[in-house]
Amino acid sequence: MKYKETTDYSFLLDGNYYVYDHKEDMETLHIFIKSRQNKCRCPKCGMESRKLHATYKRTLQDTPIRCKQTFLHANVYKYECLNPGCDCRVFTEELPFAKASQVRTDALNTLVLGVSMFLSNEGASKVLGLLGIQISNDTIQRLYDRIEFIDNPDVEEVGIDDVAIRKGQTYATAIYDLKDHHLIALLDGREGEPLKNWLERHKKIRLVARDRASAYAAAISAVLPDCVQVADRFHLLQNLLEHLKDIFKEELPAKIFIRDGNVLDQEPEKVPQIKKPDDAFLDSLHYDNTPPRNPDNTEMTYDNKKHDLSSEQYRAQARSRKKNRP
């Protein structure tokens, strides 16, 4: 079968693969891809082979596009190893975006784990479903169970910090490789003894970026006295901000007055914002409790059971307002 390359969704792939077809409906998107290369190296002996043995199709769920469940359908080759001394007779082309036997791409697994870090497995499953990712809470747990911390005894530069397994109750010590920033160890508690035991097996460490916990400092100094210890970026920034606050408190006054873009030496005089009405407007107002009149100049009558406007109280109030008027 001859495949014709299309430019649709080509941004998803690198130069080694191309899209030759796609299908879309209201809820799903299917993208069909194929490798450009017709050669592959044997995973055991490393010899390159161009002899095709068979082809098969892999279906992988990928990160959603426009909130639609997206699948990649890849035509994958099988090759015959040409090395007579190799135990591997037939091997399969490896996909750079998904490991063997995976039903999801690495990018999708990363997205799932990133969302589930802040939610429960069941909550993450429902949120991801709204985004177009169909995955169960049990599958999310299996992804977590497959995570491995690959320790490196030859590591030379590490970062050490405490992390909360359960906020306020359970803590652990996380150790990262500063070169590629991946987690290489997670120790119980945040005391110095577990860290000492771990450092005894990593004597090549020459630089540690850590927080300001005294337990970590003492453990590192006891096991690796020649190791350089520096504060991590978070605490460096925290120290800088605290120092700047102290400077501002000493150099700047408690209050600064600014008017029209200029800093004033003293507090400005307050200017009332309410404009006083002119006398003509005030004279137009009547405070003598005169009853309103109809258009034919007859007195407008209305039922007022609560107030007697002709009482001495109201007349006294009218005289007082007129007397106090500026």
Residue-range domain boundaries for the chain = 10-103, 109-145, 149-268, 279-324
Average pLDDT, stretch 100-112?
89
The answer to whether 167 and 159 are in contact (CB under 8 A) is no
Q: Is the pLDDT of residue 288 over 90?
A: no
Average pLDDT, stretch 100-104?
87
Sign of the torsion angle spanned by Cα atoms 274, 275, 281, 283: positive
Average pLDDT, stretch 200-206?
91
Q: Is the pLDDT of residue 304 over 70?
A: no
Residues 6+ apart with CB under 8 A from 20: 3, 4, 5, 6, 32, 33, 34
Q: How far is CA 108 from the centre of its chain?
A: 16
Whole-number pLDDT of residue 287 = 64
> What's this model's pTM, rounded to 2 decimal places?
0.55
Average pLDDT, stretch 11-27?
85
Whole-number pLDDT of residue 69 = 92
Decide which of 236 and 292 is more confident. 236
Q: Is the pLDDT of residue 192 over 80?
A: yes
Whole-number pLDDT of residue 273 = 74
* Reported confidence tier of residue 302, pLDDT bands at 50, 70, 90: low
How do residues 242-254 score in pLDDT, each as one tens digit? Answer: 889 888 888 877 7
CA distances to 6, 253, 262, 272, 275 from 269, rounded to whole Å, are: 73, 19, 15, 10, 17
Whole-number pLDDT of residue 91 = 87
Q: What percent of the chain has pLDDT over 70?
A: 96
Whole-number pLDDT of residue 31 = 92
Tokens representing 22?
Answer: 């796609």
Coil/strand/helix, residue 208:
strand
Q: What percent of the chain has pLDDT over 90?
A: 19
Q: What's the topology of domain 149-268?
A: Nucleotidyltransferase; domain 5 (3.30.420)
Q: Is the pLDDT of residue 271 over 80?
A: no
Segment among 81-95, 245-259, 262-276, 280-294 with least mean pLDDT: 280-294
What is the chain's mean pLDDT, rounded? 85
DSSP letter for 256, please: -
Strand 170-177 and strand 183-188: the pairing is antiparallel
Whole-number pLDDT of residue 292 = 75
* Reported confidence tier of residue 310, pLDDT bands at 50, 70, 90: confident
Average pLDDT, stretch 129-147?
89
Residues 6+ apart with CB under 8 A from 136: 125
Q: Is the pLDDT of residue 55 over 70?
A: yes
Q: Is the pLDDT of residue 305 over 70?
A: no
Whole-number pLDDT of residue 306 = 62
DSSP letter for 133, please: -
